[in-house]
């Protein structure tokens, strides 16, 4: 009996209760918003509830894994993920113009989702092995290769949203490992200048005969529509225009729960997935949107707190990367819905419908809780 009690204590000890409470509140808000967004498709509400339960089980299972075990298996996890990306390149299944899936007979998998976790785990494993003697050029070059190779494969599928998340989490690991900020400043300056040039030359570079070498035509079109949605108000610009109308029409207090006209009259495209924030903002207004952002901010803050308190360099790097990846999820989705970023298909955490994204988030927070449990054992 005592062994059973000890096992149960161990199972519950890995849970970080402040973080779990924040996630539970987000899940409740997400399910309530989903109930309003689904309309007549009740099966989506039931499926999303199932997805939350599966994500919670995944989170708990990953939290029970010792961070030391994850650290030892990091190269193998990365190698398997990279091999699956290569398999997609040669044998992938194409759907809606994108080749992102592998057909295993009984199911289809999307290896790029695995790389959201595998890349920061691998980078944290590599960089913590280099010790604390300062960031060397060799470390940066190796880390860059480990990051850019899978990102390039994902970009080629094409899947710009997932590639962005992989790059963001990887850059965070490299920066947290000690990469000097003074070296990042020129990169940030180049990005700012590129955006300024893009905006100022929009009329010229968005012409049909202008080829954007690094982007597919549909990605170029998304950026150009972002700069001027009115160029295609009934096509690609429709998403941005309608979501901005919904967000703006909510005003300060919102129209009330299940009273949103843009969503219930089917003006908001993909209202249960990528654009669910427009549904929420229309019904709960600016105050509701700010409250939701504060809730997301508290989750990020709790994750970073766990990372800072981690007893190992591996835990600190991985925890910081997981927290910032969650932040990028939120930033990109809300920026996309608000019309300040192009539509790249990044879901809003704990709000958008989808099992794969929720499962990935379950693993993310399971890793954070495992790191937090390791810190509690050292106290």
| Residue 226 belongs to a domain | no
**pLDDT at residue 379, rounded to an integer:** 47
Task: Based on the fold, state whether residues 48 and 74 are members of the same structural domain.
Answer: no
Q: What is the pLDDT of residues 47-100, one digit of tens each?
A: 889 999 999 999 999 998 887 888 899 999 999 999 999 988 888 878 766 778
Check pLDDT > 80 for residue 213: no
Please compute the mean of the pLDDT values over residues 183-199 and round it to a whole number.
Answer: 75
| Residue 231 belongs to a domain | no
| Residue 10 belongs to a domain | no
Boundary-marking domain end, from 145, 168, 200 = 200
Of 2-6, 15-19, 97-101, 320-324, the least confident: 2-6
| Residue 4 belongs to a domain | no
Q: What is the pLDDT of residues 284-325, one digit of tens each?
A: 999 999 999 999 999 999 999 999 999 888 999 999 999 999
Task: Based on the fold, state whether residues 309 and 376 are members of the same structural domain.
Answer: yes
Total of domains in the chain: 2
Q: Is 321 helix (H, G, I), strand (E, B) or coil?
A: helix
Task: Based on the fold, state whether residues 250 and 379 are members of the same structural domain.
Answer: yes
Task: Based on the fold, state whether residues 78 and 39 are members of the same structural domain.
Answer: no
Residues 6+ apart with CB under 8 A from 92: 99, 100, 101, 102, 157
| Residue 326 belongs to a domain | yes
Boundary-marking domain end, from 149, 165, 200 = 200
Please compute the mean of the pLDDT values over residues 208-229 and round it to a whole number.
Answer: 70
Task: Based on the fold, state whether residues 40 and 97 are members of the same structural domain.
Answer: no
Task: Based on the fold, state whether residues 50 and 75 are members of the same structural domain.
Answer: no
CA distance 127 to 6: 35
Q: Which domain holds residue 363?
A: 16-54+243-379
| Residue 29 belongs to a domain | yes
Residue 8 banded pLDDT, cuts 50, 70, 90: low
Residue 133 banded pLDDT, cuts 50, 70, 90: low
Q: What is the pLDDT of residues 221-257, one digit of tens each?
A: 767 776 777 666 666 667 778 888 888 888 888 898 8
**pLDDT at residue 4, rounded to an integer:** 66
| Residue 7 belongs to a domain | no
Boundary-marking domain end, from 200, 230, 254 = 200
Mean confidence (pLDDT) of the chain: 84
Would you say 337 and 275 are in contact if contact means Cβ atoms under 8 Å apart? yes
| Residue 174 belongs to a domain | yes
Task: Based on the fold, state whether residues 71 and 179 are members of the same structural domain.
Answer: yes
Q: Minimal CA–CA distance to 166: which of 39, 29, 344?
A: 344
Q: What is the pLDDT of residues 267-281, one digit of tens each?
A: 887 788 889 999 999
Task: Based on the fold, state whether residues 258 and 311 are members of the same structural domain.
Answer: yes
Task: Based on the fold, state whether residues 44 and 118 are members of the same structural domain.
Answer: no
In the chain, what percentage of residues exceed pLDDT 70? 87
Task: Based on the fold, state whether residues 70 and 148 are members of the same structural domain.
Answer: yes
In the chain, what percentage of residues exceed pLDDT 90? 36
Q: Looking at residue 346, what DSSP letter applies?
A: P
Task: Based on the fold, state whether residues 256 and 359 are members of the same structural domain.
Answer: yes
**pLDDT at residue 113, rounded to an integer:** 86
Residue 204 banded pLDDT, cuts 50, 70, 90: confident
Task: Based on the fold, state whether residues 295 and 375 are members of the same structural domain.
Answer: yes
Q: What is the pLDDT of residues 137-159, one digit of tens each?
A: 788 888 889 999 999 989 888 78
Q: What is the DSSP string of 170-197?
A: HHHHHHHTT--HHHHHHHHHHHHHHHHH
């Amino acid at each position: 009996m005592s062994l059973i009690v000890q096992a149960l204590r161990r199972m519950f000890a890995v849970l970080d209760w402040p973080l779990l409470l924040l996630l539970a509140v987000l899940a409740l808000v997400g399910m309530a918003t989903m109930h309003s967004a689904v309309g007549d498709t009740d099966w989506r509400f039931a499926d999303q509830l199932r997805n939350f339960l599966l994500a919670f089980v995944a989170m708990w299972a990953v939290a029970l894994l010792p961070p030391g075990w994850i650290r030892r298996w990091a190269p193998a996890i990365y190698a398997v993920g990279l091999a699956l990306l290569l398999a997609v390149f040669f044998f992938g299944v194409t759907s809606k113009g994108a080749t992102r899936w592998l057909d295993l007979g009984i199911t289809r998998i999307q290896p790029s989702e695995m790389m959201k976790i595998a890349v920061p785990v691998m980078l944290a494993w590599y960089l913590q092995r280099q010790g604390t003697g300062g960031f060397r050029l060799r470390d940066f070059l190796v880390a860059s290769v480990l990051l850019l190779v899978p990102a390039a494969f994902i970009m080629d599928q094409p899947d710009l949203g997932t590639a962005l998340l992989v790059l963001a989490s990887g850059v965070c690991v490299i920066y947290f490992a000690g990469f000097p900020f003074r070296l990042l400043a020129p990169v940030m300056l180049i990005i700012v200048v590129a955006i300024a040039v893009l905006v100022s030359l929009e009329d010229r570079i968005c012409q049909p005969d202008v080829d954007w070498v690094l982007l597919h035509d549909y990605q170029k079109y998304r950026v150009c529509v972002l700069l001027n949605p009115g160029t295609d108000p009934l096509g690609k610009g429709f998403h941005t225009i309608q979501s901005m109308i919904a967000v703006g029409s909510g005003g300060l207090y919102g129209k009330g729960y299940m009273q949103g006209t843009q969503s219930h009259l089917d003006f908001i495209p993909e209202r249960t997935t990528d654009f669910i924030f427009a549904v929420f903002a229309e019904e709960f207004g600016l105050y509701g949107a700010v409250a939701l952002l504060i809730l997301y901010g508290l989750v990020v803050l709790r994750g970073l707190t766990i990372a800072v308190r981690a007893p190992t360099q591996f835990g600190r790097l991985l925890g910081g990367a997981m927290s910032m990846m969650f932040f990028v999820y939120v930033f990109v989705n809300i920026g996309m819905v608000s019309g300040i970023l192009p539509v790249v298909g990044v879901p809003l955490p704990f709000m958008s419908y989808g099992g794969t994204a929720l499962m990935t988030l379950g693993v993310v927070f399971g890793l954070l809780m495992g790191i937090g449990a390791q810190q509690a054992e050292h106290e």
